[in-house]
Structure 1
Amino acid sequence: MPTMLLVRHGRSTANSSGILAGWMPGVDLDEQGGQQAKALAERLRDVPLAAAVSSPLDRCRQTIAPLLAGRPELTLRLDERLGECRYGDWTGRPLAELAKEPLWSTVQQQPSAATFPGPEGESLRDLSRRAVEAAREWDAQVEAEHGADAVWIACSHGDVIKAIAADALGLHLDGFQRISVEPASVTAIRYTPVRPYLLRLGDTGEFAGLLPRRETSAPADDAVIGGDTGQR
């Protein structure tokens, strides 16, 4: 069966500002995120890739661009199902402010019951469903086109990757906040007829991410909505 490399986008301007970006426009990689994207391309330099898929959001496309620059044979394919969670009225607000909202506790403790407010708000159940569906469908397509030994890459977002990893581990969605994936990290999964195998989880190739994160108004043991900001 193919091996799927799930890459989280590099650090963005929203990450470094402590803002929940969601689908808001104008969110690019910051300077560190650009460096992470170049380092990612170097880390994966010797890995043959059969296909490349991405969230349509700019920060993901910018992350994968250096890798694709050296692989003219690859055409990037976009899939909205790999796009960020639609956070509705939470979009664009500071994480420190959101941590005071009653819904924050639900997202932390029982994410399967959480639906983000507003007409554009999405439930985490729906996020998980469409993300896992996209991962498994693309994996099957890659196998059909390139064979069982193919390796392919998908660039997405923190909560999306956590949901896919939780499914691979057989975790209920309420356990997905136990997973952390840093900016520009690689999570590798191999689906088989018997079970998925989680081969790597949030691998960045360095250990600075193990340091305590910068102090915020949110409790230190809370998961960061949208994914770790990369702030240390």
Structure 2
Amino acid sequence: MTTLILLRHGRSTANVSGVLAGRTPGVELDDKGREQAAKIVERLDTVPISAIVSSPMTRCRQTVAPLAAVRGLEPVIEDGLSEVDYGSWTGGELKDLAKEPLWKVVQAHPSAVVFPDGEGLAGMQARAVAAVRRHERLIAAEFGPNAVWVACSHGDVIKSVLADALATHLDNFQRIVVDTCSISVVSYTETRPFVGRVNDVGGDVAALVPPKPKEEGAQEQAQSSEAVVGGSTNA
């Protein structure tokens, strides 16, 4: 019904410090991250965006701020897209956390992971997918089935949403790469989602522009739930 652009926040001060920031307050974009956020405005210049949804974390708010300002949109803050609650791991150095027994489970069997004094990755996926689906319905109802919208979140959160859209188990989500300020695209239809892009950091975005109605005044049609036999229509 709608097309979702999943945007990971730009590079933060924690991304270059080797620390697991998690929900630590006040983690901001570094100079590179601010540059990435500005380039997102340029990349999406031709794409009509109906809504912007963001994790409440500062680095996500800062990432969407330039885009929201140019489009005249007020980002909707969604707790369901917040960073993983890593509990007592929050603020730890990754080189030290990698020595913990739980680290191997995070890598090989993430669906079984519950961080000490924090949340489980399965629970994180459930609340993130629920948030995306809820906003998808609201945006489709308000702006129509061809609406394009942006949701800015975090690496593990986006990977979990993509895993759901790909109908793959959460235990496979570590195989998905989501770099800072990359976009991944999911089109939601009546029966299933289609994943159009993953970890795109510079590709052409013309295909994200919704098609115009064939006749003026014609009712907007929802995207088909049928896959193209033989591959993409662009083949």
The TM tier, using the shorter chain, reads: 0.7 to 0.9
CA distance in 2, matches of 1:133, 1:125: 12
CA distance in 2, matches of 1:127, 1:153: 19
Shift of 1:85: 0.2
Structure 1 residue runs without a partner (length 5+) = 207-232
User: Are residues 1:58 and 2:58 paired?
Assistant: yes
User: Are residues 1:196 and 2:193 paired?
Assistant: yes
**TM-score (normalizing by structure 2):** 0.85
Shift of 1:194: 2.4
TM alignment of 1:58-207, pairs within 5 A: 58-72=58-72, 74-118=73-117, 121-205=118-202
Q: Which has the larger radius of gyration?
A: 2
CA distance in 2, matches of 1:66, 1:28: 15
> How big is each residue's C-alpha offset from its partner over 1:101-143, in whole Å with a ceiling of 9 and x where there is no partner?
000000000001000002xx00001000000001111111100
Structure 2 residue runs without a partner (length 5+) = 204-235
Shift of 1:144: 0.3
Shift of 1:193: 1.8
Greater CA deviation, 143-152 or 191-200?
Answer: 191-200
- Percent identity of the aligned residues? 54
CA distance in 2, matches of 1:18, 1:86: 17
Shift of 1:75: 1.5
Three-state SS of the structure 1 residue aligned to 2:185 is strand
**May I ask how many residue pairs the two structures share in their alignment?**
203
> How big is each residue's C-alpha offset from its partner over 1:87-114, in whole Å with a ceiling of 9 and x where there is no partner?
0000001111111100000000000100
CA distance in 2, matches of 1:40, 1:99: 33
**TM-score (normalizing by structure 1):** 0.86
Shift of 1:80: 0.5
> How big is each residue's C-alpha offset from its partner over 1:176-228, in whole Å with a ceiling of 9 and x where there is no partner?
1110100000011011122110011111117xxxxxxxxxxxxxxxxxxxxxx
CA distance in 2, matches of 1:196, 1:140: 13
Shift of 1:66: 1.0
Amino acid at match of 1:56: P
The structure 1 segments of at least 4 consecutive aligned residues displaced by more than 4 Å after TM superposition are none
CA distance in 1, matches of 2:57, 2:149: 19
> How big is each residue's C-alpha offset from its partner over 1:36-88, in whole Å with a ceiling of 9 and x where there is no partner?
0001111011111001110011000000111112111x121101100000000
Three-state SS of the structure 2 residue aligned to 1:15 is coil
CA distance in 2, matches of 1:147, 1:26: 36
